A and B are shown apart, each in its own frame.
Chain A
Amino acid sequence: MKILAIDTSSHVMGTAVSSENGILAEYITNFKKNHSLRLMPAVHQMMKEVDMAPEELDAVAAAKGPGSYTGVRIGVTTAKTMAWSLGIPVYGISSLMQLAAGGTWFPGLICPFADARRGRVYTGLYRFRNGILTTERSDRVTSLDDWLEKLNETEKPVLFLSRDSKQHESAIRDTLGERAVFGGDAENRPRPSDLISLTAQMEPQPPHSLVPEYAQMAEAEKKWYAAEEGRTYE
């Protein structure tokens, strides 16, 4: 299948394209600089090099979050508009699942995460079962301490994949000890080609229905609901 993959959900920007013969090209940058400006030139250059016209595409895959709100919107908007305008389906894939896909050879649980400030993380729990990446616990934003307690109950080795590992490594080791395994530099960077691999185990969706996965309400909404219902929202 000819699939274009797009990931702008973190400061890592990635795009990849495949044909019947597998991944043809993959382009990743790893620095903080305007995705809105750089995504389309990157896609254009890559498609030109592999000599593929947009009309040849069978589908578009996008990392739909959670992650940077603005970043996720750039990728999702680009992916759904391309797919809709070309009359092809789109795959919206969890950014955390995409990261978890980097743990292919790990036999235990895979915990991708990203720092969400104030002691919180975006995270979920995944595991490879017979080569299929399965969701063990759904994506969420949660306090890292609470989450580590939950992981502790599983009594299994856990592979942590994150660009924010260093920041939280000691807290993780304090709770999980030897059972905590940390990904290397390569595994901690989400790969757009993994979005394409993951399409094999997923159902595509109509482009209009693709929306970002923020994992939490906007601040203004939290405040509004808190005032309406007299309780706090995290």
Chain B
Amino acid sequence: MTTNSTDSERLLAIETSCDETAAAVVQGGSNVLSNVVASQIDSHKRFGGVVPEIASRHHTETITMIMEEALNEAGLTFSDLDGIAVTEGPGLVGALLVGVNAAKAAAFAHGLPLLPVHHIAGHIQAARLERKWQYPALALVVSGGHTDLVLLREEGDYEVIGRTRDDAAGEAYDKVARTLGLPYPGGPHVDQLASTGRADIPLPIAWLEEGSFDFSFSGLKSAVLNTVHNAEQRGETLSTADVAASFQASVIEVLVEKTRRAAEEYEVKQVVLAGGVAANQGLRAAMEDAFKEAGPALTIPPFRYCTDNAAMIGAAAHIQWKKGITACWDLNGVPGLALY
């Protein structure tokens, strides 16, 4: 056993909630000693989206190799570790199960504590890999499965003040990409195409009722589909770049404006942009622009910590570690887990 003090613990973190098999070693919640991510995108591309059964199969095939790589890269063995952290949920149940059972097996084999982590807490805590937090803080989490505004009054205290009522922003991106004939995964392609177009096609923005921090993207998505189909029927050629730019502008406007309002209302000191869609150039630029004046400091984790990875799970597990929160051997993967 190591004799690390309480704030420099070394955790092996595992993340398998969707289609990335990931493992990382993180020390003290911010020092990334290794961060290994095996993406399955090439395997799922042919199906036009993630196939849960295939994702689970890949995780099982590669999980121990990825864990080994993470330890090797960190130059550590199990006897150097203080615990094993793993994504408990939310995510694809079959995919989560592989990570959870691998984490339990390794922790049991070496008598190490097991730390359960919420995937969204992981995305949010990726920001601690970049800088220290100030509270209260606000996090906008945008990914393929989530669009959440989360208020943190203090460390590890997550309150969801806004969420999507239908599609996640990332989902809308994928559907629009398919309509425009762009390859999977659509998000980065739409982003790139949007940068070359003009946002001059009128599209709706769902502000919802006054004061709400919730989101809705299904109306926007349908409007894009209708615009494209109507043009096709009239035999007109629409610039796909303009469609992408107009769609992206609508998404970004509502995301940034609601984040700005929430930041003001809760008088936060720090704003974090997290999740896979945080890699979107247009969104990053708009957020930077919105928070460039005096007011809350904006943190956007580096790209490699925005898309699914295990370093962010290790970062979030640090808070569990400090609170002494560990799981028993009956830890299970929970697809619809509430944020903690």
Q: Which residues of A contact B (CB under 8 A)?
A: 34, 36-41, 43-44, 54-55, 69-70, 73-74, 76-82, 84-86, 207-208, 211-212, 214, 218-221, 224
Contact = CB atoms under 8 A, between A and B. Distances in A.
A74 B100 CA distance: 9
A214 B111 CA distance: 32
Given A77-B97, A84-B67, A218-B53, 19 more contacts: A36-B100, A36-B332, A40-B101, A40-B331, A55-B109, A70-B94, A73-B97, A74-B97, A77-B59, A81-B64, A81-B102, A84-B68, A85-B67, A85-B78, A207-B64, A208-B64, A214-B57, A218-B54, A218-B57
Interface of B: 46-47, 51, 53-54, 56-57, 59-61, 63-65, 67-68, 78, 94, 97-98, 100-102, 104-106, 108-111, 328-333
A220 B64 contact: no
A86 B109 contact: yes
Which 4 A-B pairs have CB atoms at the shortest separation, nearest pair first?
Answer: A81-B105, A40-B329, A218-B53, A84-B64
Contact of A77 (B68, B105, B110, B330): B105
A211 B54 CA distance: 13
Given A41-B328, A219-B53, A36 B97 contact: yes
Contacts of A85: 64, 67, 78, 105-106, 109-110
Contacts, number: 104
A30 to B, nearest CB: 19
Given A34-B332, A40-B329, A44-B329, A81 B101 contact: yes
Contact of B53 (A34, A43, A54, A69): A69
Contacts of B54: 218, 220-221
Contact of B106 (A34, A44, A81): A81
9 contacts: A44-B329, A73-B97, A74-B97, A77-B63, A81-B101, A207-B64, A208-B68, A218-B57, A220-B54
Which of B67, B68, B98, B101 has the most chain A CB atoms inside 10 A of its CB?
B101
B108 A54 contact: yes
A44 B102 CA distance: 15
Given A85-B78, A85-B105, A212 B60 contact: yes
A84 B98 CA distance: 15
Nearest to A79: B105
A82 B108 contact: yes
Which of A40, A82, A211, A214 has the most chain B CB atoms inside 10 A of its CB?
A40
Contacts of B328: 41
Nearest to A90: B64
A77 B108 contact: no
Nearest to A219: B53
B57 A212 contact: yes
B145 to A, nearest CB: 19
Contact of B97 (A55, A70, A82): A70
Given A221-B54, A224-B47, A77 B106 contact: no
A40 B46 contact: no
Which of B51, B104, B332, B333 has the most chain A CB atoms inside 10 A of its CB?
B104
Contacts of A84: 64, 67-68
A188 to B, nearest CB: 27
A73 B98 contact: yes
A216 B104 CA distance: 28
Given A84-B68, A220-B54, A221-B54, A40 B105 contact: yes
Contacts of B332: 34, 36-37
A69 B56 contact: yes
Contacts of B63: 77, 80-81
A54 B329 CA distance: 15
A82 B60 contact: no
B101 A36 contact: yes
Contacts of B94: 69-70, 73
A82 B104 CA distance: 9
Contacts of B333: 36
A38 B333 CA distance: 12
Contacts of A74: 97, 101
B104 A40 contact: yes
Contacts of B56: 69-70, 73
Contacts of B59: 77
Nearest to B16: A77
B109 A41 contact: no
Contacts of A219: 53
B57 A80 contact: no
Nearest to B47: A220
Contacts of A212: 57, 60
Nearest to B328: A41
B330 A73 contact: no
A133 B51 CA distance: 38
